[in-house]
Structure formats: C-alpha cells, structure tokens
Amino acid sequence: MIEKRLNSVIKDYPNFPLNGILFKDLLPILENPELFSELIENMSSSKIINDADVLVGIDARGFIFSSSIAFKAKKPLILARKPGKLPGELIEASYELEYGNNSLSMQKEAIKKYENFAIVDDLLATGGTINSVISILKENKKTITGVSLVAELEDLNGRKKIPIPVESQIKF
C-alpha cells in the first residue's frame, strides 16, 4: 500500500520553521523514483483530476507534484504563486498559515479559458493556502472539481475548512 511506503520516507523535523511546528518533509519521495511514479500514477488517475480541464499547482512544493500529474494526465497546468513572482494582471488572495500570513496570485489571463479546475498541493495543514486558491477561482465563477494532495495533517482540521472534495494519499 502506498501509504505505508510514503510513511517510510517522509521525515519529521520538530520545531521547524518555528518552535512547536512539526514539519513533514515530503522531498525524500523524490529520491525514490518507483515510489514517486506510483504516487503520481495514483494522483493522476483520480476523479478530481480527470474531471478537471486544468490543474492549479500551488507554490512551491505543489509545483513538483502538479507538473508531474499534469504531464501524466495530459492536462494543462497553471500556477498559484507567492507575491512578486508572476507578471501581468493578477488576482490575489491572502491566507494564514499555522506560523504566519502570506498571499497567492494567479494570472487572470491564464484562468480565463478554463471552467473546471483541480487544485494540487503537497500538504494540507490548516487549509489557508488551498482556500486562497478556492477564493480566487470562485471569485472568477470557476468550478473546482476538488483538491488532490500528497499528505494531510488531520489534527489541524484543514479538511473541515475546505468546501470541496479533498483527496490525500497519506494522513498524519
């Protein structure tokens, strides 16, 4: 089962980036090509991905997974980036993290021609990052098929704050 294999490579870093935070490092997945391939296969074959016209990858680790899923599922990919990273006319939404605030932007032109969006990210914690993308898309009257994630931190109850379907490959 993929959950057991993911659990064997994901590393914990206590008190990073701040005291009291347990950081789940998913990057070791990339050191295992077979596991990474299986993960991308699982995520790219989901209903959330298949029902979408386009994927949205979230800055920054979400780019790794979303680009691989987009390639495998033969779907276009657009990006939700942190401030100052995208040119053109932007749509922005702010969010709170468990350790601060930030915002994400998307290019208005990039989302214009699509109707059905799937959001892809590495990890769900409090739900703020994903909800900022949801608010951008909803503000522009777009349909969201759901969120596809590698991992979810259940104790932070992020899923309860997300008003669309959520799939994660492993839960902590």
CA distance 170 to 172: 7
CA distance 162 to 134: 9
Q: Which two tokens stand for residue 2?
A: 């993929």
pLDDT (0 to 100) of residue 7: 98
pLDDT (0 to 100) of residue 122: 98
> Which residue ranges form the domains of the chain, and what is each CATH number?
46-171 (3.40.50.2020)
One-character DSSP codes across the chain: -HHHHHHHH-EEEET-SSTT-EEEE-GGGGG-HHHHHHHHHHHHTSHHHHT-SEEEEETTHHHHHHHHHHHHHT--EEEEB-TT---SSEEEEEEEETTEEEEEEEEHHHHHT--EEEEEEEEESSSHHHHHHHHHHHHTT-EEEEEEEEEE-GGGTTGGG--S-EEEEEE-
Which residue ranges in the chain fall short of pLDDT 70? 98-99
pLDDT (0 to 100) of residue 98: 65
